[in-house]
Amino acid sequence: MSVISIQSQVIHGHVGNSAAVFPLQLAGFEVAAVPTVLLSNHPAYPSVKGRVMDAGLVADLLAGLEDRGLLDSTRVLVTGYIGSPEIAAVVVDFVTRAKARNPDLLYVCDPVMGDFGPGFYVKPEVREAIIGRLVPLADIMTPNRFEFDALVGRASPDTSALVAAARSLGKSIVLVTGSPAAPQSIETIAVDQSAAWRVATPALVTKASGTGDLLTALFVAATLKGRATPDALADAVSGVFSIIEATVAQDGLELELVRQSGLLFAPPRRFASSQVSGGS
């Protein structure tokens, strides 16, 4: 097993596991997907059916993975959207056990809590569990800029301050998405303890959700393939941009993830990473 992915899932569309599993499989990696929420579609539609998973069921599913010995062979564990405080407790316990059982396991935490505009959209108790219990366990984190500011307790006025704040979290890599850059552009910044890199792209406005989930998956895929951080960053951002561009062209509510899957790992436009001045 290459990846265990614990996050939301939808029947229609591409968010959470429904955005992450397919690209990882397309890249050649086995994925064990465990849902925390099972919905008919993401909430941008006029209606949504489904519910948060029962915490006991999530615990049973994770225990089943342990019974099959997957913790010994898994290379990366990813967590994303967590639907309730009870599930948060289950996930914290599982991540703790997984890292104790497999010291080589890489834990990637996407601290899904909110975004600019809607603000926080998880319960305060879930935020407390993410910040207080999951973040300390993480090796790699992939927050958006709103979530990053919440994690460090302040807004970063410039890139240098963001890099310093990211390093204060003490992680191998912090990948911050959705940072405003020059007019009409947006950048993603990857920070480790010795260097930092950025990739800037044109800012595209899309009605689709799941771009952060997709970015995390593509970054994980590149990392599993042995790509160095600046290259993995460029690969992931370029793949996501190509999918967003195709989605905007169709004016769709869902990412063009399947019909345009060829763009994920062979984007027509590759955005190179550049080292952040003062990031080393």
Measuring CA to CA, how many Å separate 178 from each of 13, 21, 70, 142, 156?
Answer: 22, 22, 34, 11, 13
What does pTM read for this prediction? 0.96
Number of Cβ within a 10 Å radius of residue 229? 21
Give the residue from 208, 36, 40 showing the smallest Cα distance to 126. Answer: 36
Three-class SS of residue 140? Answer: strand
Task: Return phi, psi of residue 112, to 5°.
Answer: -70, 110
Average pLDDT over residues 127-140: 97
Helix runs in 102-225, H state only: 124-129, 145-152, 159-168, 211-224
Q: From CA 46, how far away is CA 34, in angstroms rounded?
A: 26
Quick one: pLDDT at residue 280?
67
Q: Which fold has domain 3-275?
A: UDP-N-acetylmuramoyl-L-alanine:D-glutamate ligase (3.40.1190)
- pLDDT bracket for residue 267 (50, 70, 90): very high
Quick one: pLDDT at residue 1?
65
Quick one: pLDDT at residue 157?
86
Residue 278 has pLDDT above 90, yes or no: no
Residue 179 has pLDDT above 90, yes or no: no
- Tokens 């890139």 appear where? 159
Higher per-residue confidence, 207 vs 107: 107
Quick one: pLDDT at residue 46?
94
Q: From CA 19, how far away is CA 217, in angstroms rounded?
A: 8
Give the residue from 15, 84, 97, 16 showing the smallest Cα distance to 56. Answer: 84
- pLDDT bracket for residue 23 (50, 70, 90): very high
